[in-house]
Chain A
Amino acid sequence: MNNFRSPSGLFTLSVLVALCLQFMPLSPALSAARPLWLAMVLGYWALYGPNVSVIAAAALLGLASDTLYDTPLGQHVLGLTLLVYTLIRLRAVLGLYPVWQVTLLLLPVWGLYCLLMFLLDGMARHPSEGLGRFLPAATSMLCWPLVMLVLDALRGKRVAM
């Protein structure tokens, strides 16, 4: 089912949906475990996408995240850009593995993203609690197959389990 002929249309749509999911109001307990939707969708396009300019998108979405989270401008820009760059570098390797292995292999990537945000928050002297910061990395890992399969299906790509 090849609904989206141009990948950039689906790219824009997926990113906007991710932005909404990322900032949809949730109760504090659920919000603490909210997966990194933006990072996952950008990561998907960096890993499997055609050559859309994911880095520019990461920079723009980073600015939006900084505004919405009220962090110093540049914090999420840096995090998302580094994440996307890492995944672009890894795409030749990770493309060989089946979904469940990629899911496991990406856990450290989400963890490092959370760590970077944690460190930058600390440098900006925003008090932040410890281990709760890394909960999103775990939930992101759990949600990754969902994101991947949905986007694959929308693109009409053959799903390789």
Chain B
Amino acid sequence: MARRRASRPLFPRGPGVGARALVVAVLAIGVWFADQRGLPLLTAIRGSIDWLLQPLYWAGNLPSNVADAGGELKNYKALLAENQALKAGQLKAQARLLQLDALEAENRRIRQLMASSSALDQKVLIAEIVATSQAPYRHQITLNKGAADGVYFGQAIVDAYGVMGQVIRVNPASSVALLVTDPSHGIPVEVNRTGLQTVARGGGDGRVLTLPFLPGNADVKVGDLLVSSGLGGRFPAGYPVGEIFDIRRTTGEHFMEASAYPSARLNQGRQTLLVWSSAPAPVLSEDPTEAPASLAASAAASAQAWAGPARLAATAADEVPLPPLRYNDAVTPKTVSKPAEPLSKPKPKPKLPKPAATPQLTIPAEAAPNLPAAPPAAEPKPKPDVPQ
């Protein structure tokens, strides 16, 4: 073998090179276009290449693993202290969890009253981040769980602090996820304080989210918490997404823009949670057919009786761009919500106000404040219970 190679001329200028390069280049272009269309065969090929490259992930992580191993040998006392702190924290969390169980049950009852299923207890799976995208303009991570573990396309990933992103490619033994800060990523969110619906897009520099096209009069403040709204069914509702730190109003423009820091610690830690969100999709698919009927029924049944509370709801949720129209329409005349439909712009989804509207019609007083902020509402209460 080696001898045959060595006997070849040092400067091979045969016809072979150009022809081979041409064939490979033409094939590459063909495959490139085919892969844009998402050919299943190519996805399978990519999966098997990825499987072959698993040792490379291991080798690439070797330096940090070695460094970790050095750190692990470090300090017995520090570990002891950490253990105690963790135990204390666990106790607190346990107490809070007890409270949360009751709240969850209450929330489920209320949701059942609203005829929408609860999405609160979800199946999760811990995945380890084995690689981050080394292209600086893409915010992607590779996880060590794949199709074999039931990971699916579009699955949401979260960490202990908020939503991290979603799975965009599933290989047999690994998967690739797009982070919320990637410029091609958008996530439907609501402002926790007001319930304002919007979409948070990745800022592209890896640190911020942007909220473009907020209505000029929207009630948004610096420090507002954004939580996932669950619209579209891809992300589970109620997880923190970010916190607004900047709002820009341009004089003469109809829209303003806000920037937020993501809640999730995107470049810290090596573990994420894969979340199975099951409930939101059927809710949304049922909603458009059922809600107008129920609204029409309730509106027709007691138009003037409900006018008061509904007005209150309308003023409370005044900052939501479109709902005020809808509340008035649904309550006062019989033309229920049809005229509002064509007016609605694509961003704040038209189905949203109904779940917010129905509880005020069915359960008058105490349910309403709970609803927009289901998970954080748990926080003020447990404090008296913590010392147990």
Residues of A within 8 A of B (CB): 5-8, 19-20, 22-26, 28, 31-32, 34, 50-53, 55-56, 58-59, 62-64, 66-70, 72-75, 77-78, 81-82, 84-85, 88-89, 91-92, 120, 124-129, 132-133
Q: Contacts A50-B10, A73-B46 given: A23-B134 contact, CB under 8 Å?
A: yes
Would A82 and B31 count as touching, CB distance under 8 A? Answer: no
6 A-B pairs whose Cβ atoms sit less than 8 Å apart in the complex: A50-B5, A68-B131, A70-B176, A73-B42, A78-B32, A81-B28
A83 CA to B273 CA, complexed, in Å = 41
Q: Contacts A19-B56, A26-B134, A81-B28 given: A73-B17 contact, CB under 8 Å?
A: no
B195 within 8 A of partner (CB): no
B84 within 8 A of partner (CB): no
Would B63 and A24 count as touching, CB distance under 8 A? Answer: yes
B316 within 8 A of partner (CB): no
Measured CB to CB, the nearest residue on chain B to A85 is B21
Residue among A7, A55, A85 with the most chain B CB within 10 A? A55
Which residues of chain B are near A56, meaning CB under 8 Å?
20, 24
A78 CA to B167 CA, complexed, in Å = 27
A23 CA to B133 CA, complexed, in Å = 9
Residue among B6, B27, B134, B168 with the most chain A CB within 10 A? B134
B111 within 8 A of partner (CB): no
| B59-99 contacts to A (CB < 8 Å) | 59-61, 63-64
Would A68 and B53 count as touching, CB distance under 8 A? Answer: yes
Number of A-B contacts (CB under 8 A): 138
Give which listed residue, A6, A20, A55, contacts B59 with CB less than 8 A.
Answer: A20
Which residues of chain A are near B24, meaning CB under 8 Å?
55-56, 58-59, 77, 81
A25 CA to B29 CA, complexed, in Å = 29
A19 CA to B59 CA, complexed, in Å = 10
Which residues of chain A are near B18, meaning CB under 8 Å?
85
A56 CA to B24 CA, complexed, in Å = 8
**Chain A nearest CB, measured from B219 CB (Å):** 31
Give which listed residue, A8, A22, A24, A69, contacts B133 with CB less than 8 A.
Answer: A69
Residue among B24, B36, B64 with the most chain A CB within 10 A? B24
Which residues of chain A are near B59, meaning CB under 8 Å?
20
Which residues of chain A are near B45, meaning CB under 8 Å?
73
| B152-189 contacts to A (CB < 8 Å) | 168-169, 176, 183-184
